[in-house]
Amino acid sequence: MRKQRDFDAELKALQDKARDLKNRKVQQLGELVIATGADSLRVDELAGALIVLTETKDAGKREAWARRGAAFFQSRARRTAPAAERHTGGARAQPGGAQPSTGSKGAA
């Protein structure tokens, strides 16, 4: 006979995991704002710039932003990681463990 599943416990665990992921995302976005120096902008300036970025459909601009962002993370990894720990290709680690976007929505 099979063991009965505790759906309530499973649902609570999934909700806890979703909350933790959301909190980690918010933390990483805050770290990114600070790392890029965007924390020197006023909140309304930063919000306006982000709105323009998300509304931009020009693939050329978005690709240029993605290249610039990848270069930013690559240079940070070189400054902070010892030679043995550096990534030599592929996806590079972002602060907080997130991986850079590969041209998907929101690449800035």
37-87 pLDDT tens trace:
999 999 999 999 999 999 999 999 999 999 999 999 998 776 665 554 444
Q: How many CB atoms lie within 10 A of CB 32?
A: 19
Q: Give yes or no: residues 60 and 34 share one domain.
A: no
Instruction: Give domain status of residue 60, yes or no.
Output: yes
**Mean pLDDT of the 7-32 span:** 96
Pairwise pLDDT comparison (92 vs 42), residue with the higher score: 42
Classify residue 73 by burial, with Cβ atoms within 10 Å: 0-12, 13-18, 19+.
Answer: buried
Instruction: Give domain status of residue 45, yes or no.
Output: no
Q: What is the mean pLDDT of the chain?
A: 81
Instruction: Give domain status of residue 35, yes or no.
Output: yes
Structural domain for 79, as ranges: 56-96
Instruction: Give domain status of residue 65, yes or no.
Output: yes
Query: Which pLDDT value is given to residue 1?
Result: 72
Q: What H or E segment, with its residue span, contains residue 12?
A: helix 7-36
pTM exceeds 0.75, yes or no: no
HSE of 50, CA atoms in CB hemisphere, 13 A = 11
Q: Give yes or no: residues 29 and 62 share one domain.
A: no
Instruction: Give domain status of residue 16, yes or no.
Output: yes
Instruction: Give domain status of residue 51, yes or no.
Output: no
| Nearest to 67, CA basis, from 77, 56, 59, 79 | 59
Instruction: Give domain status of residue 15, yes or no.
Output: yes
Per the structure, how many domains does the chain have?
2
**Which amino acid appears at position 76 of this protein?**
R
The answer to whether residues 71 and 78 touch, using CB atoms and an 8 Å cutoff, is no
The answer to whether residues 78 and 36 touch, using CB atoms and an 8 Å cutoff, is no
Q: Give yes or no: residues 62 and 92 share one domain.
A: yes
Query: Which pLDDT value is given to residue 99?
Result: 44
Query: Which pLDDT value is given to residue 77?
Result: 72
Instruction: Give domain status of residue 25, yes or no.
Output: yes
**Mean pLDDT of the 11-37 span:** 96
